[in-house]
Structure 1
């Protein structure tokens, strides 16, 4: 993903219009639109300001969308989006926790099956 595409994606994920973004950066709307279309070579100082506007540093802006997983949630009632950048390393702990939860669920299921068998045996004994 090119830098101008990253900027567009981040802006949309915040629910901001091009006009709002241009205002935040003290640019004309056309000037900002040119950045998003990749028609302007952007100076590092401007990229730093853009990254700051998104609440990240320049390195995070450059790395945004590169071998990462994104979680994008939309709220249709409020026309807003939530975009979360999840690094693949974040999943190792989650994977272990989920494996542990799955193991606990299997053990509960086995216990419930034993209880069902036991209760069926009691019912059969009571019928005799």
Structure 2
């Protein structure tokens, strides 16, 4: 994941608009948007400023990790971790795994629904038997 993508992700995790982020960085919204599009080569001072605003370590923005990255967002006092996202290098396989989990969940729900229908039918049969006695 590129630095500009990490910046955008961290901003979104904070639930800030690009305009809010630009204001925090004391720059124009269009200038900040260029950062998130990867159109600007950031110097170390600007990266430090962005990391400070996002309350993350600058190394999280610049390090290249083949296996993925983890971004931790802390409260304003740097005490409590309020958000944690782990991004893997192979998004397609992660999405496929999640889809399989969802599919399995859907199959289990369908099975439970069938069991409920059978239980209701058995209950009705028992009621009729009791009536007929």
TM-score by length of 2: 0.50
Which residue number corresponds to residue 84 of structure 2?
A: 84
CA shift in 2, pair 1:67/1:56, >3 Å: same
CA shift in 2, pair 1:50/1:69, >3 Å: closer
**Alignment size in residue pairs:** 78
Which residue number corresponds to residue 21 of structure 1?
A: 21
SS in 1 for 2:6: helix
Which runs of no fewer than 5 residues in structure 2 stay unpaired? Answer: 72-81, 88-133
Cα distance, 1:57 vs. partner? 2.1
Which residue number corresponds to residue 36 of structure 1?
A: 36
**Deviations, residues 19-77 of structure 1 (Å, cap 9, x unaligned):** 00000000100000000000111111000100111112211222487634769xxxxxx
Which runs of no fewer than 5 residues in structure 1 stay unpaired? Answer: 72-81, 88-128
Aligned positions of 1:1-128 closer than 5 A = 1-63=1-63, 67-68=67-68, 83-85=83-85
TM-score by length of 1: 0.52
Give the aligned CA root-mean-square deviation in angstroms: 2.9
Which residue number corresponds to residue 126 of structure 1?
A: none
